[in-house]
Structures are given as C-alpha cells and as structure tokens.
Chain A
C-alpha cells in the first residue's frame, strides 16, 4: 500500500505556499491537505472557526465513500466532492493516491472558480509529493529520537473519585 513519505520543512513550505496562494487567488476561507485515511496534514487560512481535525476525518470518509459509489455506477472515480451550504461550501478535490485537498469557501463564491484555482494547487502538491517520495524511496522513518521507555501509562484513566467530582 502506498503511504505518505516523511515530510520535511521543504515539503511543508511548498504545501503551505500552495495553499496560501490558493486562498489569496480564490478568496476561499480555508484550505486543508488531508490524507485519505483521515489525518490532517496541513491547514491554511481562517481555520479557527472550524474543527479541522474532525473535518479531515469526515471529509476523507465522505470522499472515499463517493469513490465506492463511483464504482457502483461504472465510473473509475469521482475526482471531487462538492457540498453546497448556505454560508459556507466545501470542495474536496483528489490530489493523488494518498492525499486530498479540502477547500472551505463562502457559499456566495462560484464553485467553478474554486475548482479552477484548486486544479493548479493539487498539481503543485502532487509534484511535491513525488519529490518527497524520490527523496525517501523506502519511506524510512526517522524516529530514533523517540524514547519509549514507558508507554504503559500514556493514557491514564481518571480516578473514580475524580469522575464523581466532575
């Protein structure tokens, strides 16, 4: 299974610039790059009003569900998913086998314009991911700095007395 390569500062800078440029040119509210498995990779724009972590998980699920629907109607894939709202709309655009671009924009903006600008952005992101994969073809994980001497209590349960007090 293809997986996301390690991202270094150069990758994040390119993705960040690409999203910034998209927001400037399209007047979108926010843009996210997410993994199709659900994790949020990077976000840009006015994201404070949105729970982007949850949005990433739901958008990925929604997009992947639509791919399954595409298969049912004989399509190889649907390259984007568009949700129209009253104040905000959402476009989820395929980037490559691993990533999606999510654009949140005011509903008054034209989805056609958003799609036009998003197309260039997805290409920039996809190209950078190709470079990242070429840099680390075996997807080597540089985690030797992690110290896992004690992970037994990474998640601790609140004591019953504390539970009653809440």
Chain B
C-alpha cells in the first residue's frame, strides 16, 4: 500500500517486476537505471545476486520522479528472484506492493514457466489480482523462437478484464519505458479514484 506523508508531501509507491527465471526482470531495471532522464533523483541499482548474476533476493532501484503538483513521488522498483526454489523470498518482496509488472519470456519453450510463474504470483499476492494494478510485458521479442503475441495474450491475459501488455526487447531498452509508464499511470489513477471515492 502506498505511503502518503502529508507532512512532507511525499507519495511512495512500490512496483515489483515478477516473472519466470531469466525472463529479463533485472535487465528492465538495469535499462531504466542506465537510460532514464528527467527525474529528480535516481538512486543506485542494488542487486542481491549470486556469483553467476542470478537474482538471489531482489534488485532495488529508487527513483524520485518530477513532483506531481506539489507531491514528491518516490518510486521503488523491485524484482523478485525467478528461480522456483526462492518462493519465500518472492513472498517477502511482494510485501506492500502497489503495482506489478509481469515479465514473460516470449520463447516457445518458456510457455509453461510463464504460466506457472503467473499462477505463483496469484498464490503469493494474498489478495485478488484484480485489486492491484498490473501490466504484462512480453520480453525477448527479438529472438527467433518467439511465440506470437496473440498466443501469449491467450495464455496470460485472458481474463474478464484484460490489462495493458507490451512487446519488449529489454536488452535493447525497447518497451521498457512504455511498460514502466503504464504501470505508473495505472496505479496513480487508482489512488486518485480511491481518494475521490472516499472524499465523496
């Protein structure tokens, strides 16, 4: 749940990148860190990884965006470890999450892992996925073995309410910012709607 500090006029939100192992979650954060401009402040990208660069606990990137009408808006971007054995860690990282980017691997032989990871997300969230803003990113579109987007949509975005989805090649920074801006928009609009409903 977002943290609102009226005294310091700060809004802090937490976005978690979720998905199967090696789907490009860490690469998304690396590209944001390397290429973002027009932000107030960009922190260090912290990676708690194994010696072979596999995420062990999480990656963390704090960014303070341009103030939105007087509010400092601090975004905290996290990834989870994708490997199946680290499920307890994924549960810890999801604590207090405000918005989710589900990164899927577009390669045909990763379809089962995509579906299992999505199911794992629903189990770990401890709340209804419909209650939290999320977007889907189909990563690695540049690889020759990429499945058609329609098929990925059928597999992962086939619910009553479809969520925004993006094709991406995170290693080339394609689709990375589009994905981030959309999840940001969804969750900020959710806060506004809740605020207005309670004020009414």
Contact = CB atoms under 8 A, between A and B. Distances in A.
Which one of B46, B62, B66, B176 has the greatest number of beta carbons of chain A within 10 Å? B62
Interface in A3-20: 3-4, 6-9, 11-13
A142 interface: yes
B70 A141 contact: no
Contact of B192 (A6, A148, A153): A148
Q: How large is the interface on A (under 10, 10 to 19, 20 to 34, 35 or more residues)?
A: 35 or more
A162 interface: yes
Nearest to B188: A148
A68 interface: yes
A116 interface: no
A107 interface: no
Given A8-B6, A64-B95, A155-B32, A39 B37 contact: no
Contacts of B74: 39
Nearest to A53: B62
Interface residues of B, number: 61
Given A3-B1, A37-B96, A163-B35, A53 B191 contact: no
B96 A157 contact: no
B46 A154 contact: no
A146 B71 contact: yes
B195 A142 contact: yes
Nearest to B189: A148
Given A64-B95, A153-B181, A51 B44 contact: yes
A39 B191 contact: no
A16 to B, nearest CB: 9
Nearest to B41: A53
A143 B88 CA distance: 34
Contact of A61 (B1, B5, B58): B58
Nearest to A62: B57
Contacts of B96: 3, 35-39
A146 B37 contact: no
Nearest to B98: A37
A144 interface: yes
Given A37-B14, A38-B78, A157 B35 contact: yes
Given A148-B188, A154-B181, A156-B38, A141 B4 contact: yes
B172 to A, nearest CB: 10
Interface string B140-157: 000000000000000000
A1 B39 CA distance: 31
Contacts of B63: 155
Contacts of A145: 69-71
Nearest to A156: B38
B198 A41 contact: no
Contacts of A158: 35-37
Contact of A154 (B7, B184, B195): B184
Interface in A27-69: 35-39, 41, 51, 53-54, 57-58, 61, 64-65, 68
Interface in B10-51: 11-12, 14, 32, 34-39, 43-44, 46, 48
9 contacts: A1-B1, A12-B8, A35-B96, A38-B95, A53-B62, A64-B95, A138-B198, A146-B11, A148-B188
